[in-house]
Structure 1
């Protein structure tokens, strides 16, 4: 146990085995599961988390048969010969005293394959393929397939399995009438609809034996129309317990739900209330999940008795050493997950390998290998934004002498703007993390310092990393110098008064952020759980199916019009798994979104536009905010080259298209490795 977090580090005795603390690395598909050649990298990925102190790891989902695969030839465990590749994963985890469970996931109608099956032939909104209604014979075979996968998992060295019964996958599709229109013994009354998961758990227990963990991921809050009632959730939970489960995990929301459950604007620990709600009905240990990303939050949840274990998936992507740092009493050293989805879920839903915005090593542990410097160099890093912070920290930790320069009063660069946007306060954590790394690594930080070639020449630097970032681009619009025009930086920094009616030019990520800021106030940076539930329509009383209620409309602070030149849907370039929520938030705040706008002029009447080369309109407004892209800040690049100083461009100074912290931090790491090898 730890004096710092006694509840988080209390072991959990399951009778036949013990978990060393109360942490679970929740299941997340990384893209390493789908091909045998990637299993060494998958083993290294899990090994680092086990070494970092996680008690129980859960793999990404493995299908019990071909029809249940998420992707063509995707991750599956159904043949004995497939166990060999898994053994390297389980042995890597066991070497550090941790346990690991294989998640069995049947995609059902969420499968991106033409052979997908479901309870009924009802197409999902997130797959192009319409499923075939599985036959009764197919159901019985699928139950046997689950048992077979559990048997093989045990053979491969896993300590247990997690049966994915939530998030709208195959089992969920049987549980509710919205996706189960059957009139046989597997449809109709709830007793029939719940039969599938109960028989799966029974079959898995019989196949795997009594000394094998069965975690059941119970959909406690569907958040979709026609979802389960609370009474049905409780009834199923009791039946799963009786059927032989060891632990019940909390599942929140279907993938098609139109309520955000894991992105940054969701309050921390926003759904632990539903785990607590079921405690009086279930005797098994309960795992709670979603938006728990700090040891303090985890400890508070456990201390309050809301759950027995804490599931964190993306926080262990962000920092494999999360638990060790917490146990040592150094939470300030944790690289905190900011719930952006940009490199994890967005990658997975694009069939790319997952990673992490704040930790580009995640899922690339065998590729981004850093070594102690063989020859120590003097390196200047100019610019203390995401790219510069990453490069400076990495270089100094390798053993090089690093000077970090920035003209600003504080480190952080564009992060200092991002963290002022409502719902993005998690960026505070990233700035805090990098600042402590700078100090620990001995980086000499020079703030409020303007750097030129002479300074860098006089410093006798072997290498210079230019991470000077971007400056806002000023579009050519008649009247761009009008008094009502201001830049996004002025608005975010609260440097200028902004009127009640605002036109925002540019609907990229910055345009959306500015619109979000304008409809709220600078003091409304975070929502509490009650405010979040009210705005999105989540009912903690659980009086209706799916836990839904009518949302309470927000009261926007300003009347905002968001415009873009492109004729595509406004916000189409936002993150695949989070963009819809940002659009929905602005729609709820009555933001008018206009695509295909040509900006004709700005005058006292407002912003004059032509839509799709046809309709002319005047947006009456008090202010026009320019969010029309950025340009690289390269004032000293050519002089450095002319002076013969080796220079590396990274981050916004390298590419200024749309601000991209994910790329910036990765380039900082890559450049540090490159310099170290010179």
Structure 2
């Protein structure tokens, strides 16, 4: 990356930046809680050490009704004091910090603020299921003053810049969109009217803080909402913001109500860069892009095409706090990539109840304030099992200075995580396994694949960590489960069994839904094949190479129950798109040579099938207990620490397994 465009110096207004890799705004869910200030500062300090050219904070509400749970609010004196301390600590660490000024508008929740939400017009929000009050002229004046005062505070508190949140369906974006702005005064109706508030907020801030303090405006490049702002209107907004005094535009994509995925793993890398590029072509100030620029390759390509001047990914900095430093050092092998799984970040931020943001692949995220120190008494540690729990336990133990040997019974590392990498949009899971493999090699961990250790071998170690994971659970009472047409999800995902033509999947939880997605997507003609024919004026004869059908049987009325709220709807849309038939509220009673008998309160049905895939749960692998029986004389000393699915198979949860392994290894 020595000649990388990402590594070239740049400027935003008067702010000189060492390179083009920023850290985009993330709401961590702990903001405003003084007890969490040290953790919040430690989180940012670690990203400063990781090379972020500029860090943009999560929301700081300019008015109470535009805030929410776990957010700073600039009308609260203690919150201002905390922000001053935060800005000072980041400056002391050598970093640059921008404060994001926000009013959430109709996305505010009265249960969190204690106030009625306010918006351009009294139009209900699908996200909150509340109808806001239409803002009065006095309310609008208050908002403009609050943004200007917030910018002045940020400048005087030691922040290097501000970012005005005008994207993602929040208040300023709501004024711009005809979907949410039905006003007939000077702040609605015409395009100029809908642009007015955003332009006046920028102008008011510029008048308050002068020309020297950098002002970034996060605007929506595409709302992804039918009937919302058009591309031409979006470019008109961009020009108006530049004329009003913005130093840079950060282009966001989509609202929280949008029905097109914008940040999940189903979205191709760099998918929205061309939208950012259209904005860049319309203005003369720097333009920043963020969505799905999660790899160095995608980010570099976006700059090379001229789509943007800076990149500001957010979640990749959760996965690897040294995201920019590793790019600068050309250490692609050592980069822990974001999976865009949303499980511990967006699902925590938007869940009910909400939780502090963490990261599936980086168990240190959210724990940066906790010391991580080498052991003062290194020991020999055996880790049995090479899934993600075992890999994390081995990595953390080795980082603390212990001598670690990892045993894996199979020929490849990865366990259930490797199986999951077969699911559409989850191929990126292999990047995590690559990261672990590189880390273990660099740390000197002895990795022994294709090996099941004996109790005698384990006697040579001071501590044993068992991370043997899970295996599919097949209900013993299920009649016909032993027939030849029956297999498990592991058989399908591992490639041990070929697909049938008329498939019934029993179990409509997360695994069953994923398997249905995998089978339907694999059986269909690939996008590259369809594109090949389409570009040459031909149409494939069928969407599938051979006749194929899938029925997913769910005992619950809620299919994919347990999948996080920010990704479940995407998965269900994919099943619908691929023609998977879903039966809700049905129990599998029996299997025979021709198919499956299912029943509910209304009666029973027979589903013809030539293949039945059981996704009926998992059970912990406990064969490790048998290995240790031979060492009864040393039973107490050989008693292992059990982590991951081997300790709890209630549901597959890689985030929990990795975090548990990390915590255990920290204590060895």
5, 9, 12: which is aligned to 2:10? 12
Matched, 1:395 2:392: no
Instruction: Write out aligned runs for 1:653-668 (5 A).
Output: 653-668=646-661
Preserved CA contact (<8 Å) 2:13 2:247: no
Preserved CA contact (<8 Å) 1:462 1:646: no
Partner SS for 2:560: coil
82, 106, 112: which is aligned to 2:109? 112
What is aligned with 1:646?
Answer: 639
Normalising by structure 1, what TM-score?
Answer: 0.92
Q: CA deviation at 1:405?
A: 0.3
1:361-409 Cα deviation digits (max 9, x unpaired): 1122113x32111101111100010100000011011110111001111
| CA distance in structure 1 between the partners assigned to 2:661 and 2:543 by the alignment | 40
Instruction: Write out aligned runs for 1:559-598 (5 A).
Output: 559-566=549-556, 568-598=557-587
Partner SS for 2:58: strand
Matched, 1:603 2:592: yes
**Number of matched pairs:** 646
What is aligned with 1:538?
Answer: none
Preserved CA contact (<8 Å) 1:453 1:636: no
**Residue range with higher mean Cα deviation, 28-37 or 332-341:** 28-37
| CA distance in structure 2 between the partners assigned to 1:280 and 1:669 by the alignment | 47
Partner SS for 2:163: strand
Normalising by structure 2, what TM-score?
Answer: 0.93
Question: Residues 287 and 395 from structure 1, CA distance in 2 versus in 1: closer, same or farther, beyond 3 angstroms?
Answer: same
Matched, 1:354 2:344: no
What is aligned with 1:92?
Answer: 89
613, 616, 620: which is aligned to 1:632? 620
1:329-388 Cα deviation digits (max 9, x unpaired): 211101110100000010111221001000011122113x32111101111100010100
What is aligned with 1:407?
Answer: 409
What is aligned with 2:366?
Answer: 363
Preserved CA contact (<8 Å) 1:39 1:86: no
Q: CA deviation at 1:441?
A: 0.7
Preserved CA contact (<8 Å) 2:513 2:559: no
Matched, 1:259 2:252: no
Matched, 1:83 2:80: yes
Partner SS for 2:200: helix
Q: CA deviation at 1:26?
A: 0.6
Q: CA deviation at 1:514?
A: 0.7
| CA distance in structure 2 between the partners assigned to 1:431 and 1:118 by the alignment | 46
What is aligned with 1:150?
Answer: 151
Instruction: Write out aligned runs for 1:116-515 (5 A).
Output: 116-350=117-351, 351-367=354-370, 369-457=371-459, 460-475=460-475, 476-515=477-516
- Consecutive unaligned residues of structure 2, counting only runs of 5 or more, are 535-541
Preserved CA contact (<8 Å) 1:270 1:529: no
Partner SS for 2:427: coil
Preserved CA contact (<8 Å) 1:20 1:98: no
What is aligned with 1:66?
Answer: 64
What is aligned with 2:30?
Answer: 32
Preserved CA contact (<8 Å) 2:13 2:214: no
1:148-188 Cα deviation digits (max 9, x unpaired): 11111112111111111111111111112211122222221
Partner SS for 2:503: strand
Preserved CA contact (<8 Å) 2:523 2:545: no
What is aligned with 1:549?
Answer: none
Partner SS for 1:363: coil
**Residue range with higher mean Cα deviation, 595-604 or 468-477:** 595-604
| CA distance in structure 2 between the partners assigned to 1:190 and 1:576 by the alignment | 35
1:222-257 Cα deviation digits (max 9, x unpaired): 111111101100110000000000110111000000
Question: Residues 288 and 232 from structure 1, CA distance in 2 versus in 1: closer, same or farther, beyond 3 angstroms?
Answer: same
| CA distance in structure 1 between the partners assigned to 2:543 and 2:647 by the alignment | 40
What is aligned with 1:621?
Answer: 609
| CA distance in structure 1 between the partners assigned to 2:518 and 2:220 by the alignment | 34
* RMSD over aligned Cα atoms: 2.0
| CA distance in structure 1 between the partners assigned to 2:544 and 2:563 by the alignment | 24
| CA distance in structure 2 between the partners assigned to 1:520 and 1:44 by the alignment | 43
Partner SS for 1:520: helix
Q: CA deviation at 1:522?
A: 7.3
Q: CA deviation at 1:461?
A: 1.2
| CA distance in structure 2 between the partners assigned to 1:16 and 1:74 by the alignment | 28
| CA distance in structure 2 between the partners assigned to 1:332 and 1:524 by the alignment | 32
| CA distance in structure 1 between the partners assigned to 2:242 and 2:560 by the alignment | 44
1:623-648 Cα deviation digits (max 9, x unpaired): 11011110000122376485111311
Preserved CA contact (<8 Å) 2:29 2:355: yes
| CA distance in structure 2 between the partners assigned to 1:651 and 1:431 by the alignment | 16
| CA distance in structure 2 between the partners assigned to 1:493 and 1:218 by the alignment | 44
Q: CA deviation at 1:78?
A: 3.0
- Consecutive unaligned residues of structure 1, counting only runs of 5 or more, are 535-552
